[in-house]
Amino acid sequence: MSREVIVAAEWFDGERRHGAGPTTLVVEHGRLASLAAGDQAADLAGSSVPVTRVPFLMPGLVDAHVHLFLEGHVTDNALRSAHLKKPVEELTQTARASARRSLACGVTLVRDAGDRHGINHRIRAEARGSRELARVRSAGVGVKRPKRYGAFIARDVEDDASIRGTVAALAADCDEIKLVLTGIIDFDSGAVTDQPQFDLAAAQLVVATAREHGRGTLAHCSGAAGLAIAAAAGVGSIEHGFFMNRETLGLMRDHQIAWTPTFCPVHFQWAQPEAAGWSAATIGHLRRILDEHAEHLRLADGMGVPLLLGTDAGSMGVAHGTAVGEEIDRWLEAGVSLGRVLTAATSAPRRHFGLPATLAPQAPFDALALPASPFTDRSALGRPLRTWAMD
């Protein structure tokens, strides 16, 4: 369909909501040709052009941190381990289903934060032009240290030469380079207990090599020691970032390093401790970690740190698509306004990825229609009427 007229009763442009009367948008060949106040359908559509009337229109949602090849809704540890051993073809089916589920939930774009087979690249290619799959920005395979955390999403690098060679090779088709800078939280002790995988010089080498080849970086990172390295190395974005502190946030603001706080996987562990069999003490750690994370998110928002909403979908209990609504709730609970949360879930990631804004004149049309304004009915976000994904 080359021309379509959309009349939205209310809309959100990625930064601001527009609620005073209807707006008419004309989409031609996948681009927003014009946008005018009032219901102009009768004038602009004529007799042959379809008119879509929607209560609310906004840019398509972005999940800035997913792993398409992992099944987040599976919460049994044995089944999750068995999943990782499946043949690549089966894992590719899973990834395809994840991209389909995402789009059905109004998520028009996901950033895949790594899989060791590079299945994310394949789904990225399949999604182009698709009416069924969310578009994919792919980090391909990440880099990690031998015998350290992250074998399911990254490959090993050892000395500087191997960092240079591996990052240069990955940069050929990875949209961003994923650096597994630290391990994960040890929930039983309520801390990140191992040392960062990369020191500052090595992290800087990853960032510099990626940049030489025209790529940004995203760092899997939690714990004060790793966060200080990530911020000083100037990575593009810090993923997870548990045990954040004001000093690191200050560096992130100064260097405009984005933060994707991914509450979902830790919140699941707290909300359903029986899945992993956590003790009362561990549940207490989880609650404290989440509360401190929320405090730092609010602080980051006030300080002007670029924020990206990402779920870590594919992690235990974090289902592709629906997790975005859950992550939004965590941010609202933290005290971030809905407008700011939706910016982090729409325009901020697109800007961070270097993609054109959407719902701007002449921009590729990437949008989500809802049955009501989420500003008056939060649940409307969970009931998408229609999506338009862009290439």
312 binds Zn ion (CB under 5 A): yes
**Sheet holding 237-240: strands in order across?**
154-156, 142-144, 176-180, 216-221, 237-240, 258-260
Contact segment (CB under 5 A) with Zn ion among 34-42, 109-117, 173-181, 321-329 equals 109-117
CB-side neighbour CA atoms (13 Å) of 233: 31
Q: Provide, rounded to whole angstroms, the least separation between the CB of residue 8 and Zn ion.
A: 34
Task: Name residue 164's amino acid.
Answer: R
Select from 83, 262, 246 the least CA-distant residue to 185: 262
**Beta strand ranges found along 29-88 (DSSP E):** 31-37, 51-59, 61-66
Contact segment (CB under 5 A) with Zn ion among 18-26, 120-128, 307-315, 378-386 equals 307-315
Rounded Cα gap, residues 97 and 319, in angstroms? 11
Q: How many CB atoms lie within 10 A of CB 117?
A: 17
Token pair belonging to 39 = 């219901």
115 binds Zn ion (CB under 5 A): no
**30-89 positions binding Zn ion, by CB under 5 A:** none
Are 17 and 359 in contact by the 8 Å Cβ rule? The answer is: no
CB nearer to Zn ion: give 113 or 355. 113
The per-residue DSSP string of 160-225 comes to: HHHHHHHHHHHHTT-SEEEEE-S---BTTTTB--SPPSS-HHHHHHHHHHHHHTT-EEEEEE-SHH
Q: Provide, rounded to whole angstroms, the least separation between the CB of residue 123 and Zn ion.
A: 16
CB nearer to Zn ion: give 71 or 312. 312
Token pair belonging to 85 = 């051993």
CB nearer to Zn ion: give 113 or 342. 113
185 binds Zn ion (CB under 5 A): no
Q: Provide, rounded to whole angstroms, the least separation between the CB of residue 148 and Zn ion.
A: 15
Contact segment (CB under 5 A) with Zn ion among 17-25, 273-281, 305-313, 358-366 equals 305-313
CB nearer to Zn ion: give 54 or 154. 154
109 binds Zn ion (CB under 5 A): no
Contact segment (CB under 5 A) with Zn ion among 110-118, 247-255, 324-332, 364-372 equals 110-118
CB nearer to Zn ion: give 113 or 381. 113
Q: Provide, rounded to whole angstroms, the least separation between the CB of residue 325 and Zn ion.
A: 19
CB nearer to Zn ion: give 109 or 113. 113
CB nearer to Zn ion: give 36 or 84. 84
- The β-bridge relationship of strands 142-144 and 154-156 is parallel
- The β-bridge relationship of strands 3-12 and 17-18 is antiparallel
Interface with Zn ion (CB under 5 A), residue total: 2
Among 5, 27, 107, 113, interactor with Zn ion by CB under 5 A: 113
Where on the chain is the footprint of Zn ion (CB under 5 A)? 113, 312
